[in-house]
C-alpha cells in the first residue's frame, strides 16, 4: 500500500459559501486551477473538525471507499479585506493559514436513501468505520454522502472523534461502543458487517494509523484551552483507534442488534 501524500495548494479565489453546512464551508479555486470545498479552521468546531475530517477521510480511503482528494489549503489575509458579508469576513479573518479542502465534485447530488441503493459491502464498511471514529453525523437528516458518476462518495467526517472537544475525559471513551449507530443512514443496507470487519485490521494497521495521524499539521494540535501537547494528542488518537479496532466484534454486534 502506497504512502499517503497530501498536497498543499493556495487559495486564489473565493467563489461562494455553501450555506447548507453549519460551518459555512465555501467553494474556492486554488493555484492548481481546481475547485475545492474549503473547510475553515476559523469555523465553529475549529481545527478539531479539520483533524476529524483528515483522519476519517484517509481511513475511508485506506478501506477502498470513494472520497474526494483532501488537500491542505493556504489562505492569506487578502480575502477578508474584500468580503462584504460580515459573517464570512470574520470567518476568513480567523482562518488565515492552513485549512483543509476537498476536491469539488461538480454536479454531484446529495445521496438519497429512498432513491439509491448501496451495495452491502460498501454500506457495511461505512457503518463500521463511522462506529470506529464515532461519527455522529451520517443520518437520514444529513447523509454526508454524495452520488457522483453513479458512485457513492464519502464526505464530511468533521463530527467524528467528538472526545477531542474535551481532552480531560478522553480516556473514558476508549472502552465505549457507539450506540448512535442506530441512526446511521446506511444501517439497513449494512448486511455484511462481519465479513468486512475481517478486512479492517488488515488494512488499518498500526503503521497506517501512525502515518495518518502524523499528517496532522502541528498548529492544528495547539489550542489555548487544551492542556495536552501535540505529541500527547497524536498518541491519544492512535490509542483511541487501536482500542476501537480491538473491540470491532462488539461494534459489529451493536450495529447488527440496532438493525
Per residue in 90-136, pLDDT tens? 999 999 999 999 999 999 999 998 888 999 999 999 999 999 999 99
Largest CA distance in the chain: 53
**Residue 20: per-residue pLDDT:** 66
**Residue 1: per-residue pLDDT:** 64
**Residue 22: per-residue pLDDT:** 63
Q: Determine the Cα–Cα distance for residues 176 and 248; give it in Å rounded to an integer.
A: 11
Task: Report CA dihedral (124, 127, 130, 132) to the nearest 10 degrees.
Answer: -60
> What DSSP designation does 78 have?
H
Q: Consecutive sets of 10 residues in the chain, 259 residues long: mean pLDDT of each?
A: 89 89 85 97 92 98 98 95 88 96 95 92 98 96 94 95 94 96 97 98 97 97 87 97 98 97
Q: Determine the Cα–Cα distance for residues 135 and 159; give it in Å rounded to an integer.
A: 6
**Residue 207: per-residue pLDDT:** 97
**Residue 21: per-residue pLDDT:** 59
Residues 6+ apart with CB under 8 A from 123: 186, 189, 190, 191, 192
> What DSSP designation does 228 have?
S
How far from chain centre, in Å, is Cα 162? 12
Using CB atoms within 10 A of its CB, is residue 40 exposed (0-12), middle (13-18) or buried (19+)? buried
Helix, strand, coil % (nearest 5) of the chain? 45, 20, 40
In DSSP notation, 20-77 reads: TSTT--EEEEETTS-EEEEEPTTSTTHHHHHHHHHHHHHHHHHTT-B-PPEEEEEE-T
Task: Residue 212: name the closest of 243, 186, 175, 237 by CA.
Answer: 237
And the C-alpha cell for 193?
458487517
**Residue 223: per-residue pLDDT:** 81
Q: Determine the Cα–Cα distance for residues 209 and 77; give it in Å rounded to an integer.
A: 34
Amino acid at each position: 500500500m502506497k504512502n499517503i501524500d497530501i498536497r498543499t495548494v493556495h487559495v486564489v479565489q473565493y467563489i461562494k459559501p455553501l450555506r447548507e453546512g453549519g460551518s459555512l464551508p465555501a467553494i474556492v479555486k486554488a493555484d492548481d486551477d481546481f475547485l475545492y470545498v474549503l473547510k475553515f479552521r476559523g469555523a465553529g468546531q475549529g481545527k478539531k473538525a479539520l483533524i476529524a475530517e483528515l483522519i476519517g477521510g484517509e481511513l475511508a480511503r485506506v478501506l477502498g471507499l470513494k472520497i474526494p482528494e483532501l488537500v491542505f489549503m493556504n489562505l492569506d489575509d487578502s480575502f477578508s479585506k474584500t468580503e462584504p458579508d460580515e459573517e464570512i469576513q470574520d470567518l476568513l479573518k480567523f482562518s488565515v493559514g492552513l485549512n483543509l479542502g476537498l476536491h469539488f465534485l461538480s454536479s454531484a447530488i446529495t445521496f438519497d436513501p429512498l432513491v439509491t441503493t448501496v451495495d452491502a459491502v460498501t454500506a457495511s464498511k461505512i457503518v463500521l468505520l463511522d462506529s470506529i471514529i464515532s461519527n455522529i453525523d451520517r443520518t437520514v437528516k444529513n447523509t454526508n454522502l454524495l452520488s457522483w458518476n453513479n458512485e457513492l462518495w464519502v464526505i464530511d467526517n468533521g463530527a467524528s472523534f467528538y472526545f477531542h472537544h474535551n481532552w480531560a475525559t478522553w480516556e473514558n471513551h476508549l472502552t465505549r461502543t457507539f450506540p448512535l449507530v442506530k441512526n446511521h443512514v446506511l444501517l439497513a443496507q449494512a448486511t455484511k458487517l462481519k465479513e468486512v470487519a475481517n478486512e479492517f485490521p488488515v488494512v488499518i494497521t498500526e503503521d497506517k494509523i501512525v502515518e495518518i495521524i502524523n499528517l496532522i499539521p502541528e498548529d492544528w494540535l495547539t489550542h489555548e484551552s487544551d492542556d495536552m501537547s501535540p505529541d500527547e494528542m497524536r498518541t491519544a488518537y492512535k490509542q483511541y483507534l487501536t482500542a476501537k479496532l480491538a473491540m470491532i466484534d462488539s461494534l459489529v454486534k451493536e450495529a447488527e442488534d440496532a438493525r
